[in-house]
């Protein structure tokens, strides 16, 4: 079974400041890990993914995340926040099975506000 | 290329009524997933189609929910009769059928309100 915990349902940062969104997971098998973003009135968009290759993963819009097995974490960071980053962010885990359903288990989401 | 399209975008129905949500996946995508987000909760998996077959429906809440995928193309999710707790946002996603991981693309969701 898998589960995801996102610390903080709301995070506010100043424009230009570091963005850090926390995600911890549990999984009984080697996981695939994902961050999705949802902008207002839009669907979920994949930001980045970890699929057992490099532990530091770079995604779109300057975001990156590091897979730390010992800490069961996959925190999302961006060095400098932009107003356009305001959105809701979801961490998700999927069991690696090699085939079949890549059913995603999501965290509750973190709403990011960027203050001018 | 068109993305995943969901109809309607919003639906308000009375308790006891029937509602049908539709999802048009990206053309050529064999995998189709339904997810639901109840307010304040996480997005939860409902079921997974591979072409027209149900691969995994372990997340379906109860037998008031019926999902179909006609000819392996579009999919419908019917709720009959609707209850208050069915309110939420229903997301559809699709991915290619290749072996190994392939990205799932999500639609904008259908916001269902049962009153």
Q: Which of A43, A103, A107 sits opposite B108 (nearest CB)?
A: A43
Distance, in angstroms, between B108 CA and closest chain A CA? 4
What are B21-70's pLDDT values in tens digits? 999 999 999 999 999 999 889 999 999 999 999 988 999 999 999 999 98
Q: Which residue of A has its CA nearest to B90?
A: A43
Give the burial string for A46-57 (b: 16+ CB within 10 Å, else e): bbbbbbeeeeeb
Check CB contact of B44 with chain A, cutoff 8 Å.
yes
Chain A 86-105, residues with CB within 8 Å of chain B CB atoms: 90, 92, 96, 98-105
The number of angstroms, rounded, from the C-alpha of B7 to the middle of its chain's C-alpha atoms is 10
* Pick from A45, A51, A90: CB nearest B43: A90
pLDDT at position A16 over 80? yes
Percentage of chain B beyond pLDDT 70 is: 96
Identify the H or E element spanning A95: strand A87-95
Across the interface, of B44, B102, B106, the residue whose CB is closest to A44 is: B106
The answer to whether A104 contacts B35, with C-beta atoms less than 8 Å apart, is yes
Structure tokens at A54: 């490099």
Q: Within a 10 A sphere around the Cβ of B71, how many other Cβ atoms? A: 7
Residue whose tokens read 């993963």: A57
pLDDT, tens only, A55-83: 899 999 999 999 998 999 999 999 999 99
B109 touches chain A (CB under 8 A): yes
Q: Do A106 and B43 touch (CB under 8 A)?
A: yes
What is the DSSP code string of B54-95?
A: EEE-TT--STTEEEEEGGGS-EEEEESS--GGG-EEEEEEEE
CB B42 within 8 A of CB A108: yes
């Amino acid at each position: 079974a898998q589960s995801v915990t996102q610390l903080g349902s709301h995070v506010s940062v100043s424009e230009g400041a570091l963005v850090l969104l926390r995600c911890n997971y549990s999984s009984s098998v080697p996981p695939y890990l994902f961050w999705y973003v949802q902008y207002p009135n839009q669907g979920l968009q994949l930001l980045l993914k970890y699929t057992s290759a490099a532990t530091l993963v770079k995604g779109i819009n300057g975001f990156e995340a590091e897979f730390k097995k010992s800490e069961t974490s996959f925190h999302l960071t961006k060095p400098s926040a932009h107003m356009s980053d305001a959105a809701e962010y979801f961490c998700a885990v999927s069991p690696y099975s090699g085939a079949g359903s890549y059913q995603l288990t999501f965290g509750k989401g973190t709403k990011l506000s960027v203050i001018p | 290329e068109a993305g995943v399209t969901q109809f309607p975008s919003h639906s308000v129905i009375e308790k006891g009524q029937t509602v049908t949500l539709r999802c048009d996946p990206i053309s050529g995508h064999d995998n189709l997933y339904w997810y639901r987000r109840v307010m304040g909760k996480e997005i939860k998996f409902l079921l997974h189609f591979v072409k027209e077959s149900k691969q995994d429906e372990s997340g379906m809440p109860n037998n008031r929910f019926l999902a179909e995928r006609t000819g392996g193309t579009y999919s419908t999710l019917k709720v009959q009769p609707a209850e208050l707790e069915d309110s939420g946002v229903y997301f559809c996603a699709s991915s290619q059928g290749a072996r190994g991981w392939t990205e799932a693309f999500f639609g904008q969701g259908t916001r269902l309100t049962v009153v």
